[in-house]
Structures are given as C-alpha cells and as structure tokens.
Amino acid sequence: MEYAENINEYSPHRETIYNLITNYFDNPKMVKLYDTEPQRGPDGNRGNSGGSEGKSVYGCKIYSLLSVDNRYIIAIVKKDTLPINFNVHLKDLNWECFQTRSIRDYPYKFKSSHKYSIKKSAEYMIPFYVRSRTQDASEYISQEANILITLLNSGKSIYTFGNEGTLVSALETFNTVITFLGI
C-alpha cells in the first residue's frame, strides 16, 4: 500500500494522534468484537507474503439522544490474543484504522453507551483538504496531522461533504475512517 508506514516502530506522530482522538472521546472503554483471519497473498500464503495480516476489531457505542441510527467508534488493530468481549480503554489500542460510524442495525450489542462532550479547542481544529471523490466516499488529507480521512457518502451525492474541514467536523459526521499516511 503506497501510504503505509511501519507500525512496528514507535512513532511520536502516531502517539500524538492516538492521544488527540482518545482525549476527544474521553478515553472510552472499547469491547473486542471479533478477529479477522489473514488474507492469502499471490503466493497462496497468509500474512507477510503478500496477503494482509489478521486484525482485531474493537467497538464502543456512543450515546446519542436524537439520532435515528446508532453511533459507534471502531478501532482496528493488528490481530491480538485477547478474548472476544474483552474490555480495554481506547488509550491502550495502537489502532491502524479508527472509525466513527452511524449504523442502524449493527450486529453487535453493547451493555452501555459512552458519553462525551464535543470539543472545540484549537488542538482539534486540524485542517484537511479534499484529495479525491467517488460515489461512495470523499478522501481528504491533513498534511498537518499526516492522516488520511475518508468520509463515507452513504449513497448520497458525490459532493455530500465540502472541499475542506477540520478533524472535529470529520469525527462528528459519524461517517469517518481515519488511517495514517506514510508521507
């Protein structure tokens, strides 16, 4: 993948983004939902031979008074050995992909929902600018934060979202996928 970076090494930049998002959502307790198996590569082997590695997926339901759809935050990490339904705080997950999603019929049930308050301080106003658009999603780059932000159009117009925005505006759409750039 052209925008990947080696996540096996410590990265102060990643740590800054982890902390920023963890603090924005007030460090919610995440529940391990499931693991995925590695995908086979062109040589038929799994993992480092060209296929993708397995992942572990964690989620948390977000309290929402007015939304018809349920809101969730989802963190995807390299596959770990923790059991399904294990609880861990977001600050303890070195995620590869972070998502805020509105999903009407999410197949996983949560015992409770997490409350947080929207933050509008300068540290969350990181700008991003459109890179590309498709019918399904609009991709944005934040040079300042070195992240790729994908806003899912949910079957709406290719221009559902504007040409620029901020980290907080993206997080609050609950149609957001964030990954790191290796620029």
Report the 10 Å Cβ neighbour count for 89: 12
- Are 145 and 95 in contact by the 8 Å Cβ rule? The answer is no
| pLDDT value of residue 2 | 36
pLDDT tens for each residue of 127-156: 999 999 999 999 999 988 899 999 999 777
pLDDT tens for each residue of 1-42: 333 444 456 788 899 999 999 999 999 999 999 999 987 666
| pLDDT value of residue 8 | 56
pTM of structure: 0.86
pLDDT tens for each residue of 53-103: 899 999 999 998 776 679 999 999 999 999 999 999 999 999 999 999 998
HSE value, Cβ hemisphere, 13 Å, CA-based, for 92 = 12
Domain-wise residue ranges, the chain: 27-103, 122-180
pLDDT for residue 182 is more than 90: no
Report the 10 Å Cβ neighbour count for 48: 10
